[in-house]
Copies of this chain bind each other. A is one copy, B any other.
Amino acid sequence: MSSHTPIGRKITLNDIAAGCDVSRATVSLVLRGSPLVNKLTRARVEDELRRQGYVYNRAAANLRRNTSSSIALVLNDLANPFFAEFAAGVDEALGAAGFVTLLGCTGESAAREQAVLGSLLEHGPAGIILSPAEHSEAHQVLAAVGRRVPLLLFNRELGGTLPEYAHWDQLMLDNQHGARLATEHLIARGHQRIAFFGGHHDSSSCRQRLAGYLDAMRTAGLRTEPHWQVECAPTRLDAAHRTSVLFDATQVPTAAVCYNDAVALGLMLGLNQRGLRPGRDFALTGFDDIAEAALGMPPLTTLSTAPQERGRQAAQLLMQRLQQPQAASQQTIAPVQLVVRESSCPPPAH
């Protein structure tokens, strides 16, 4: 168990009732705007509520009514702008529907995820929106959450596909299609030697994007070299470090489809260090359309995922599930949109 902070005595329904000589029940009816109460009584009670500065105790009400007015939002990394915007969208939609958001950050640790889920569950959320930590496993999540509380998975799949897995709703990005769009765009610009740069192949989103890239290349009848598939951590720093791998062998690519914007920005940095001008001497695309993508030098061609809108959508999907707990689970794939900017230049003329 754990901490508890004592609270000063609060004004309750009884105080109001005593203050204007009616019963608790009547005050409760007034609070909920019941048409049963007499106009004059209502006015009297409302005055008293204001006079005493009454604050509704939703926890007590939820206990009695066996309801919940909160939803847990568990994120792997709030410091990442993508998830921050997502969270803003979730909170906006939930707030509008009268729910309050219980926040929990896991910092990409599956162990912390367990702890956070456990702690949030004790507060009785009506549902959970979970963007899993990197090595989070389906059976762990199931053990922490149980089947009682609806869960919406966002952005990543869980490790170890169980049958229970299918029980949860999902909201994913259309990674494969997005990467195909980016690749096709570069091909249309005239590129033939195109690399896929960044990400870890044990992340589902990376595998999907890679598949989209390979798909587009195959369809266009273009060859792909093994050393054009470069793995790295999805950070700018690591991407910049790994830039050289692209240029070590003989068949040097003229463009790269990057795992995400962070990687693309890192690659830009690496290119600059080699004396290559991104968007002039080498073309590249990103994924996510984070705020700085539009403001890079050059501005980055990327796939817009509208994270805030995804947040609203996630909230909607979960609330829909709360209405119909028995409906079949939904796998939603959110569309992504190619945003063409200057980083995806044609190949340099020889």
What are 22 inter-chain pairs, A to B, with CB distance below 8 A? A1-B31, A2-B98, A5-B126, A5-B127, A7-B67, A7-B124, A8-B148, A8-B325, A55-B146, A58-B122, A59-B59, A60-B63, A69-B123, A78-B88, A79-B308, A88-B105, A91-B104, A91-B105, A100-B119, A100-B123, A103-B103, A266-B295
Is there an interface contact between B65 and A4, defined as CB atoms closer than 8 Å?
A: yes
Name A322's contact: one of B5, B9, B83, B87 (CB within 8 Å).
Answer: B5
8 smallest beta-carbon distances between A and B, as pairs: A84-B84, A2-B98, A3-B98, A4-B67, A5-B126, A78-B88, A297-B297, A101-B103
| Binary B-proximity of A290-327 (CB < 8 A = 1, otherwise 0) | 01100111000000000010000000000000100100
Give the distance in Å from the alpha carbon of A120 to the alpha carbon of B91 in the complex. Answer: 12
Interface residues in chain A, defined as those with a beta carbon under 8 Å from any beta carbon in chain B: 1-10, 31-33, 53, 55-63, 65-70, 73, 77-81, 83-85, 87-88, 91-92, 95, 97-105, 107, 116, 119-124, 126-127, 146, 148, 236, 265-266, 268-269, 272, 291-292, 295-297, 308, 322, 325
Is there an interface contact between B148 and A5, defined as CB atoms closer than 8 Å?
A: no
Q: Decide: A70 near B146, CB < 8 A? Known: A84-B79, A295-B236.
A: no
Is there an interface contact between A78 and B87, defined as CB atoms closer than 8 Å?
A: yes
Closest Cβ of chain B to A334, distance in Å, is 18
Closest Cβ of chain B to A289, distance in Å, is 13
Is there an interface contact between A116 and B97, defined as CB atoms closer than 8 Å?
A: no
Is there an interface contact between B322 and A295, defined as CB atoms closer than 8 Å?
A: no
Is there an interface contact between B69 and A79, defined as CB atoms closer than 8 Å?
A: no
Q: Report chain B residues within 8 Å CB of A84.
A: 78-81, 83-84, 87
Is there an interface contact between A265 and B295, defined as CB atoms closer than 8 Å?
A: yes
Is there an interface contact between B67 and A5, defined as CB atoms closer than 8 Å?
A: yes
Closest Cβ of chain B to A144, distance in Å, is 10
Is there an interface contact between A62 and B62, defined as CB atoms closer than 8 Å?
A: no
Q: Report chain B residues within 8 Å CB of A107.
A: 92
Q: Decide: A32 near B124, CB < 8 A? Known: A73-B103, A84-B78, A266-B295.
A: no
Q: Decide: A120 near B148, CB < 8 A? Known: A5-B69, A87-B78, A295-B266.
A: no
Closest Cβ of chain B to A165, distance in Å, is 19
